[in-house]
Structure 1
Amino acid sequence: MVGHAGARLLADLADATGLTAAYSAALRPLRPRGTGHDPGRIATDLAVMLADGGEAIADLAVLRDQGEVFGAVASTPTAWRLLADTDERTLTALRSARAQAREIAWLQAVEQGEDIPAVRAAGRMLPGLVLDLDATLVACHSEKDQAAPTYKGSFGFHPLLCFLAITGEGLSGRLRPGNAGASTASDHITVLDQALAQIPDVHRHGTDILVRTDSAGSARRPSSPTSETYGNEKFVPPSQSDTRSPSLSATRSEPYPTVCGIPPWTRTARSVPAPRSPS
């Protein structure tokens, strides 16, 4: 038994949702002559390799050695050059490509009679999306670019990530040095804005959105730029004196049922502290 059996399905999913083609369009400036490996296929193969448990670019060999399954896979130097040539403008184009593919995937799910699962709160099923925003520590054992000592005494990175809690989709992330602050407001703003941009328009503008953070997200700055960017929703942070894990909420104008003693929400969102964990 091996853990690579479903890797081909991931590549097929990327093709079916248009992700590979969108990556190709986003990375076309890096391949001006149009020769060699398709950069969109290289990016997709790198993603499949990581999802399959790979940890380094050289792990593409697992896919490359199965040519009958994955086709022509780029060499390690070719993949390395693609990553080295990727700049901030290219990353922005790749984010747009991911958003396009996600919208197609969600529409395909609706065509199959499925939709984004509802949130369960206080025994009730409530419509809406839940975004989890949190930082994590990634240790490394050599002096890589941006690696630095962490607050826990280790060495590595301190990326900030945002996931869609209901489906587990990774919406956005920011690679940061190990000594980056857990409550850096500018990083929270950037990651949250990029995560919201990944949500298809029909859900971003017509669905209740709850953003959950731990106490590191209680800085007041994240609410202002976000509410300016997405004017239909207003994000309100919890009180900084509240030591419980806070949540930010964005709501529609329709009344919402009372849950856990919280009054109905209106256009101005309420701060909803996350429940305490059992001690």
Structure 2
Amino acid sequence: MQSTDWSKGLSVEVGGRGVVSHAGLVLLRALADRTGLTGALSRAVARRGFTPGRDRGRVLTDLAVMIADGGEAIADIDVVRHQADVFGRVASPATCWRALDEVDDVRVRRIARARAKVRARVWSLFDRLPAARAAGRDVEAGVVVLDVDATLLVAHSEKEGADKTYKRTFGFHPLLVTCDNTGEMLAIQLRPGNAGANTAADHLHVLGEAFAQVPAAHRRHLLVRADSAGATHAVLDWLTTQDVKRGRTVEYSIGWSIGEAERQAITGVPTSAWAPAINADGGLRDGAHVAELTGLLTLTGWPAGMRVIVRRERPHPGAQLTLFEERDGWRYTAFVTNTTLGALQWLEARHRAHARVEDRIRCAKDTGLRRLPSREFAINQAWCTLAAIAADLIAWLQILALTGDLARCEPKTLRYRLLHTAARLVHGQRRRRLRIPPTWPWAEQITAAFARIAAIPAPG
């Protein structure tokens, strides 16, 4: 048999009946309904004296589901809309545009409160809160780890708020906060391209939003990680203030720039004070060490209890080094923390785990953030909010309903294996059934996931 024989006698024509593509979307849509997200959004965006033809909460939920499915434009809602036998009546692209246009600043805040309420219910469904991990082990049980970072979104057309970025591109510079325990996106602020990476007011805004998203029962012990853009007096003072409020413990682990004072302190560190660094799997890192600089620096004006920890390692080929590093032969990075317990190696490895936020950002760009749909800034901010909801839905689906590789894979893989699954819709005994081909490798996992979602108690 020749390798091209597979296409003999094959033709393509219109006329299939009962065939459903993207059948895996029923999981996300059902999850949004069973957790109460759809109803919460409906109440959040409701307008007194106005009854829309399409419930706006349903419209926003369907847009978030579409984004989670890989949709990049509002017109992609047609993928869901033209499968009414399964999904019912779905809003048209024009209605979706109107729904986004109605999300003003007041409704953005209402949506945030609705998300927080639903998130508290979802977290109550967990067997236990997933633990953040670093150096091959769990971070302390019950600690919620928040990662703050900014990224660049390139705009290929004139959009309100788009501007030149520090990398000489043109677009936006959003700031976001993700939860390392669950993979959720707790807060996102769309900013012009020329917004500063270390603007304290923006960091305080997204951190305040993120803190409010963490359910109250889990807000007692937080760890905030950021790169050196977060190492400002305002941010560190605010985090220190939060640490003494209401008996709450707020730790931080934030990158620190190495200046002349730090370089002098590094030269004063005795050889015996350098401890071997550890890898992400907990093993010793060859050619890397950590040491504490706190006692060798004058930290007047900075919060009490702040520690400065430095890491040195042999540079990789092609690494850009400062004159000090070229002379010394080591590459240095530093961070500050108010954590008093734990070995230096563990604290440094815990800080380096902040790099996972780059994976979260990359996945977020594959889930709606890469392409903003409108010329208007307010609509694009609403779209970013829906992208955050889409990230939440994927995270909840993996924690509550999936097992094995599907519970750990990235959104692209999840779409390829699960969300984009084809099925046949059959009717009988006044019921509808989606039948997935038994040859599909993940068929059993999909049916099990639907059963788990259906078992979630309906919202009160």
Q: TM-score, normalised by structure 2?
A: 0.51
CA positional deviation for 1:239? 8.4
CA positional deviation for 1:244? 3.4
Select between 117-126 and 163-172 the one with higher mean Cα deviation.
117-126
Counterparts of residues 45-56 of structure 1 (less than 5 Å): 45-56=62-73
Residue ranges of structure 2 left out of the alignment (5+ in a row):
1-19, 259-331, 356-460
| Match of residue 333 from structure 2 | 244
Q: Secondary structure at the match of 1:72?
A: coil
Q: Distance in 2 between matches of 1:101 and 1:248?
A: 32
Q: Which amino acid aligns with 1:259?
A: A
- Length, aligned pairs only: 257
Q: Any conservation in 1 of the 2:134–2:349 contact (CA below 8 Å)?
A: no
Q: Which amino acid aligns with 2:63?
A: L
Q: Distance in 2 between matches of 1:162 and 1:115?
A: 22
| 2:227 counterpart (190, 214, 219) | 214
Q: Secondary structure at the match of 1:222?
A: helix
Q: Which amino acid aligns with 2:100?
A: L
Q: Any conservation in 1 of the 2:38–2:57 contact (CA below 8 Å)?
A: yes
| Match of residue 9 from structure 1 | 27
Q: Tell me: CA distance 1:239–1:150, structure 2 relative to 1, closer, same or farther (3 Å).
A: closer
Q: Any conservation in 1 of the 2:224–2:253 contact (CA below 8 Å)?
A: no
Q: Any conservation in 1 of the 2:134–2:350 contact (CA below 8 Å)?
A: no
Q: Any conservation in 2 of the 1:213–1:246 contact (CA below 8 Å)?
A: no
Deviations 1:38-89 (A, max 9, x none): 0100110111111111112111111111112221111122111121122111
Q: Secondary structure at the match of 2:125?
A: helix
| 1:181 counterpart (192, 196, 202) | 196
Stretches of 4+ aligned residues off by more than 6 angstroms: none
Q: Which amino acid aligns with 2:351?
A: A
Q: Distance in 2 between matches of 1:164 and 1:3?
A: 32
Q: Distance in 2 between matches of 1:39 and 1:23?
A: 8
Q: Any conservation in 2 of the 1:172–1:191 contact (CA below 8 Å)?
A: yes
- Structure index of larger Rg: 2
Q: Tell me: CA distance 1:229–1:79, structure 2 relative to 1, closer, same or farther (3 Å).
A: farther
Q: Any conservation in 2 of the 1:162–1:170 contact (CA below 8 Å)?
A: yes
Q: Any conservation in 2 of the 1:213–1:247 contact (CA below 8 Å)?
A: no
Q: Distance in 2 between matches of 1:105 and 1:96?
A: 14
Q: Distance in 1 between matches of 2:30 and 2:241?
A: 38
| Match of residue 125 from structure 2 | 108
Q: Tell me: CA distance 1:141–1:3, structure 2 relative to 1, closer, same or farther (3 Å).
A: farther
Q: Tell me: CA distance 1:247–1:165, structure 2 relative to 1, closer, same or farther (3 Å).
A: farther
Q: Tell me: CA distance 1:273–1:130, structure 2 relative to 1, closer, same or farther (3 Å).
A: closer
Q: Tell me: CA distance 1:63–1:262, structure 2 relative to 1, closer, same or farther (3 Å).
A: closer
Q: Tell me: CA distance 1:3–1:119, structure 2 relative to 1, closer, same or farther (3 Å).
A: farther
Counterparts of residues 4-153 of structure 1 (less than 5 Å): 4-29=22-47, 32-109=49-126, 114-125=127-138, 126-127=140-141, 128-153=143-168
Q: Secondary structure at the match of 1:244?
A: strand
Of Structure 1 and Structure 2, which has the larger fraction of its residues in helix? Answer: 2
Deviations 1:102-126 (A, max 9, x none): 11111112xxxx2122233444432
CA positional deviation for 1:134? 0.3
Q: Secondary structure at the match of 2:204?
A: helix
| Match of residue 441 from structure 2 | none
Q: Which amino acid aligns with 1:209?
A: L
CA positional deviation for 1:274? 2.5
Residue 339 of structure 2 corresponds to residue 259 of structure 1: no
Q: Secondary structure at the match of 1:162?
A: strand
Q: Any conservation in 2 of the 1:211–1:247 contact (CA below 8 Å)?
A: no
Q: Which amino acid aligns with 1:224?
A: D
Q: Secondary structure at the match of 1:221?
A: helix
Q: Distance in 1 between matches of 2:118 and 2:25?
A: 18
Q: Distance in 1 between matches of 2:350 and 2:217?
A: 27
